[in-house]
Structure 1
Amino acid sequence: MNIIESGSIEERIELLAKTIEPFADRADENDKHGKFPFENFEDLKSIGYPALTVPTKYGGAAIGLKEMLKYQELISKADGSTGLSIGWHMGIMKDMGEYNTWEEEKYAEVARDTARTGALLNNAATEPATGSPTRGGRPETTAEKNDDGWLINGRKSFTTLSPILTYFVVSASVDGTEAVADFLIRNDRDGLSVDETWDSIAMKGSGSHDIVMDNVQVDEDDLVVYRTGGQKRPAGWLLHIPACYLGIAKAARDAAVSFATEYSPNSIEGTISDLPNVKQKIGEIELAILESDHLLYSVAEKWDDADEEARLMMGPELGAVKLSVVNKAIEIVDLSMRIVGAKSLSEKSRLQRYYRDVRAGLHNPPMDDMTIVHLANQSISKFI
């Protein structure tokens, strides 16, 4: 069954839930051996999931942000690496389709490929010398104009999904100018290679390796975005990040509460779920989840309903969602591990994986310090 053709959100959730049933067990195995979850993406492609955010005219479903986040949270609860990874593709395709970021013919080519074959795309923007692209560093990757189009040279780090990407959107400094441009590079271009550098203890299955471009020749129309400065507009689609870590947190909650309702040491009657101190922790977890659910999905709904002028004012609010939800997710996993105790540190416990994975959210954009400054500036501006 194809998820695009499903008639309602409830039917899509049912299909997706059935599709991702094996993901959690695979996540244990892949984490243990540092393997990329190829099977998960084949399963998602088999139901047409990568095309859900593609415009309907190109074969997608053009779903809203709130709906996308519900699916992303569900996938991430089963496997955080898979959820975060596919989230980049889903969000970027959604954003470009809504804002006509590229020339229509070029976007249509990629969108139809996604709908037809499940082709995947992600940005390749981070470099060792520049750090996070949100900090504004100029890429050391270069693009030189020639008679055949553009010659690209450089290296990008943290390129999530690199083992299976069909398309890389690579940022590069345009030779002889102050401009920075994005170039669409197919995975079969000569000179493009994946250097398997990903050795993180968190999100092991995300395949966030380096990609290397050694005299990669692309066509003239593969230059898809040309920037000469100016501030980037707010990106609602980046809420796929907190949705991912909230999913991980809910998986940790389930593991802890399940343990608490089953574990009965001989020092007490009943299970530890009857103990006041354990109930206190479970209640704190539920409060954090309730707060996170309301913040994440109310802001997503606000984004869906907002016009362009209103969206331009939502940057600090979007950052606040990411900061709050990710930090609460870390708190939830910590409380869950306190309930389970030392057993949570066993290699056999999924909680130790959740603990490692959830902390990766601190290093996804936007960074907490930038969010706090933007919130402060927004407040100050009202009195100037």
Structure 2
Amino acid sequence: MTATVGTDARVDLVVPDLVVPDLSPEALADVTARIAATAAEYDRTGAVPVEGLRVAHEAGLLTATVGTQFGGPGIGPIDTARILIALGEGDASVALLAANTLITHQGQAVAEHWPAHYYADLLHRGTQGPALANAIRAEPELGAPARGGLPATTLTRRDDGWSLSGRKSYATGGTALAYHVVWAVVDDQTADAKHPQVGHVIVPADLPGISWIETWDHLGLRASNTHDVVYDDVRLPLDAFVEIPRGADGVYRDPAAAASLGSFGHPALYIGVARAARTAFVDYTRNRVPAALGRPIATTERIQTVAGEIDAQIAQAETLLFGTLLRAETGDQSHLPQLSLLKVQIARSVIAATQTAVSALGNPGLTRTLPLERHLRDALCVRVHPPQEDVALVAAGRRVLDQ
């Protein structure tokens, strides 16, 4: 069975059915184990985690959210979360690259805003190997767009298309990306300077004028290749630009300034990291037999209490994640104003779980011969995903006080 992609007159492509992933606990556990086998080495080198991505691709996990109208499995948010937990438990960098790609496909399934020929190309690449996509938004001067402001990256009309120029920071995926979704402002001298067009432009990663600056030297997610990218007169067709509409009051508001259900893939992957930390803690304490004790430290009440605390934090994070998604699936929307707060609480639980595991073990928890220090470094990165904690708390406080 096949599916024709798009209605654009320039496109006459038929995309083969993508792999329908096996989402059984056993299959996901196998993927986790295979990805985990190479995670430490990629963390040390900072190279693109090609082996982990290959495993995820062959299991059909990188295209699991492709809409059924495009020949994809079209899985929903709950199964997407399960996938990302499994990938995060194996390698957080692989999971982040997968999360950004799954979110891209998820958005296209809901609103077909990509040019048809570009999306058909992305899907065809996805049948051959890992085909990654990501929203490229932050900038060196502006910082995170969720905190306000407009991008310095510009789109300028040229003949029958656009010219894209600017520099972006924290472009996760680096040279492994197949497509960039670039946040930009239209440079139109005839338009209202106070209300320029703002939106995203779909950019094939292999176009002339794209260059990379290797700036990523980070505490965690070291294999995520989150470098800076420069666009220098990159030529694009007119339909590559998708404007973000302003509100009824004429004010532009960045869509990442508040959490959405589609953004819960990011906290899901970090729950996987916390699970990996729990496993590493259990393995170490079962095998550590101090001479003075004569038995594994896992048999002591002190370690058993710590293990219980780790498990409690993970249970809390999982319950918040899946409870949020299940309520939405049943049509309950009463918790939607609290989505940003729920992400904050999941992040707090993830960090608490990993920190508890590391701190209880002393030096072994921080040595690089064991995986716990890597899990802690990766878990701390949960805080950087928008909306960040202070923004979420301020918005929630204002909402409560205004009610």
Q: Same fold (TM over 0.5)?
A: yes
Q: Tell which deviates more after alignment, 165-174 or 194-203.
A: 194-203
Is 2:9 the partner of 1:9? no
Structure with the largest fraction of helix = 1
The residue type equivalent to 1:271 in the other structure is P
Q: How does 1:191-270 map to 2 (within 5 A)?
A: 191-228=209-246, 229-231=251-253, 232=255, 234-270=259-295
Aligned to 1:116: 127
Looking at structure 2, the residues matched to 234 and 157 of structure 1 have their Cα atoms a distance apart, in angstroms, of 21
Residue 165 (structure 1) shift: 1.0
Distance 1:218-1:373 versus aligned 2 partners, 3 A rule: same
Partner of 2:304: 279
Does the 8 Å contact 2:115/2:239 carry over to 1?
no
Task: Spell out the pairing of 1:224-373 with structure 2 (5 A cutoff).
Answer: 224-228=242-246, 229-231=251-253, 232=255, 234-306=259-331, 310=333, 314-373=335-394
Match for 1:255: what amino acid?
A: A
Q: Report if the CA contact (8 A) 1:260-1:272 is conserved.
A: yes
CA contact (8 A) 1:149 1:220 kept: yes
Residue ranges of structure 1 left out of the alignment (5+ in a row) = none
Residues paired across the two proteins, number: 373
Deviations 1:352-375 (CA, angstroms, capped at 9, x unpaired): 111211111111111001111222
Which runs of no fewer than 5 residues in structure 2 stay unpaired?
A: 1-16
Q: Quick one: structure 1 residues 198 and 315, their matched pair in 2 at CA, closer, same or farther if it must change by over 3 Å? A: farther
Q: Which amino acid aligns with 1:62?
A: G
Q: 1:129 to 1:75 in 2, by over 3 A?
A: same
> How far apart in 2 are the matches of 1:79 and 1:306?
33
Query: In structure 1, what is the equivalent of residue 148 of structure 2?
Result: 136
Hey, what does 1:70 align to over in structure 2? Answer: 82
1:194-252, CA deviations, whole angstroms, 9 ceiling, x for partnerless residues? 22221112100101111110111111111123444444375212111111111111111
RMSD: 2.2
Q: Does 1:42 align with 2:54?
A: yes
Q: Partners of 2:346 and 2:166 in 1: how far apart? A: 35
Aligned-pair identity (%): 27
The CA distance in 2 between the partners of 1:147 and 1:3, in whole Å, is 37
Distance 1:14 1:273, change over 3 A: closer
Q: Are the equivalent residues in 2 in contact too, given 1:120–1:166 (CA < 8 A)?
A: yes
Q: Which residue among 187, 202, 216 is the counterpart of 2:205?
A: 187
Q: Does structure 1 conserve the Cα–Cα contact (< 8 Å) formed by 2:32 and 2:89?
A: no
Encode CA deviations 1:124-169: one digit per residue, 9 max, x unaligned: 0110111111112210101101113001100111111122111101
What TM-score, normalized to structure 2? 0.86
Classify 1:161/1:255 alpha carbon distance in 2 versus 1 (closer, same or farther; 3 Å): same
Residue 39 of structure 1: SS of its match in structure 2? Answer: helix
Residues 163 and 107 of structure 1: CA distance in aligned 2, closer, same or farther (over 3 Å): closer
Secondary structure, aligned partner of 1:9: coil
Q: Which amino acid aligns with 1:187?
A: A
- Cα distance between partner residues in 2 of 1:332 and 1:241: 17
Name the CA shift for 1:144/1:71 in 2 (closer, same or farther; >3 Å): same
Distance 2:131 2:112 in 1: 19
Q: TM-score, normalised by structure 1?
A: 0.90
